[in-house]
């Protein structure tokens, strides 16, 4: 009974935490009043929107999520430099832009969304479409002489980690 | 201390400006619609990130610390893929100067785009 009450008040505990922190950052100061109002928002918003988001994404290994974020940010930096060099020094004829179709093992919508976002954020690749039942992702690569290498890298570096985190 | 900070701020600003410049240059230089999408949407991330980093260091050194920049960064990271996604959607649907799409390795069709012959297969 108590567990169900808690479940009703905090349908998404992480979202509550996230909204509270975001509110404090927006106000840009850490005082009792700010935290209290952030908490009110953090409790009200998930409750009011619970009907539209019935399933709770499971975060099996939150620590690994931290590691994943670090890896992604590092990749964004490295890949940004790579793309800048390609843009500056590689002639258009020598570039080989190509489509890459990536078969997905991930099944959770949140995990697939995270993967698609990661692919777009790491420069050189943009995720474009999903197959009708969500088993494949269409990705465009700016300069990939070997599309299979891009596919394997994405599967190994990102999808494997997301699978550990979410599923 | 302030001098080191000033140097750090300067480096971050210049780096950021450089990346934003390269991003805009890429938009002009690249020749295919899908390739052109890459330069501004992404070189921008690091450029803006770097400029925000400069702003953050500066505010902390002046003793008026602000973490708004973290929020801006987070919102850019969340929204940038969405706009890139929309632009690429437009490209694949207008079908101009685009390499033909591959078939999905699993499932029958891409969710929003019919390839030639898909209508018969999906039936």
ipTM, two decimals: 0.76
A56 HSE (CA, 13 A, CB side)? 14
Cα gap A151→A137, rounded to integer Å = 10
Q: What is the pLDDT of residues A75-96, one digit of tens each?
A: 888 888 888 888 888 887 778 8
Domains: count for chain A: 2
For residue A58, pLDDT beyond 60: yes
Query: Are residues A75 and A116 both part of a single domain?
Result: yes
In angstroms, the separation between the Cα of residue A11 and the nearest Cα of chain B is 23
Q: In what order do the strands lie in the sheet with A98-103?
A: A98-103, A136-141, A125-130
A67 plus A11 within the same structural domain: no
Per-residue confidence of chain B (123 residues) as pLDDT tens digits? Answer: 688 888 989 999 999 998 888 888 888 888 887 888 887 776 677 888 889 888 888 888 887 777 788 888 888 878 877 888 888 888 888 877 677 777 777 777 777 777 766 666 544
CB atoms within 10 A of CB A153: 14
Do the chains contact at B81 and A121, CB–CB below 8 Å?
yes
Task: Give phi and psi for A55, each to the nearest 5.
Answer: -90, 140
| Domain shared by A19 and A91, yes or no | no
Partner-chain contact B30 A92, CB within 8 Å: yes
Are residues A11 and A42 both part of a single domain?
yes
Provide the chain B residues 3-32 that lie in CB contact (below 8 A) with chain A: 19, 22, 25-26, 29-32
Identify whether residues A149 and A83 lie together within a single domain.
yes
Task: Give residue A23's domain range.
Answer: 2-52
Interface touch A136/B106, C-beta < 8 Å: yes
> Is there a single domain that holds both residue A143 and residue A161?
yes
CA A76 to chain centroid:
13
Do A23 and B69 form a contact (C-beta atoms < 8 A)? no
């Amino acid at each position: 009974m108590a567990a169900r009450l808690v479940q009703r008040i905090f349908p998404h505990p992480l979202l509550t935490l996230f909204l509270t922190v975001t509110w404090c950052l927006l106000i840009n100061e850490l005082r009792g009043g700010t935290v209290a109002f952030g908490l009110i928002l953090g409790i009200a918003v998930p409750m009011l929107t619970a009907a539209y988001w019935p399933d709770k994404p499971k975060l099996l290994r939150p620590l690994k999520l931290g590691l994943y974020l670090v890896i992604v940010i590092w990749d964004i930096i490295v890949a940004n430099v790579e793309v800048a060099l390609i843009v500056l020094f590689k002639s258009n004829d020598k570039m080989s832009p190509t489509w890459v179709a990536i078969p997905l093992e991930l099944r959770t919508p949140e995990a697939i969304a995270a993967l698609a976002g990661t692919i777009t954020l790491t420069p050189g690749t943009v995720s474009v479409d999903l197959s009708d039942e969500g088993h494949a992702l269409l990705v465009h690569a700016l300069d990939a002489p070997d599309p299979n290498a891009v596919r394997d890298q994405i599967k190994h570096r990102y999808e494997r980690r997301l699978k550990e985190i979410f599923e | 201390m302030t001098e080191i900070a000033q140097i750090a701020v300067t480096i971050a600003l210049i780096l950021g400006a450089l990346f934003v410049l390269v991003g805009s240059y890429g938009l002009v230089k690249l020749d295919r619609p899908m390739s052109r999408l890459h330069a501004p949407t992404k070189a921008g991330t690091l450029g803006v990130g770097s400029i925000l980093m400069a702003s953050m260091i500066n505010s902390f050194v002046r003793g008026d610390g602000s973490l708004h920049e973290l929020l801006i960064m987070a919102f850019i990271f969340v929204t940038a893929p969405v706009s890139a996604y929309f632009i690429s959607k437009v490209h694949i649907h207008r079908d101009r100067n685009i390499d033909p799409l591959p078939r999905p390795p699993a499932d029958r069709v891409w969710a929003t785009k019919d390839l030639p012959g898909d209508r018969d297969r999906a039936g």
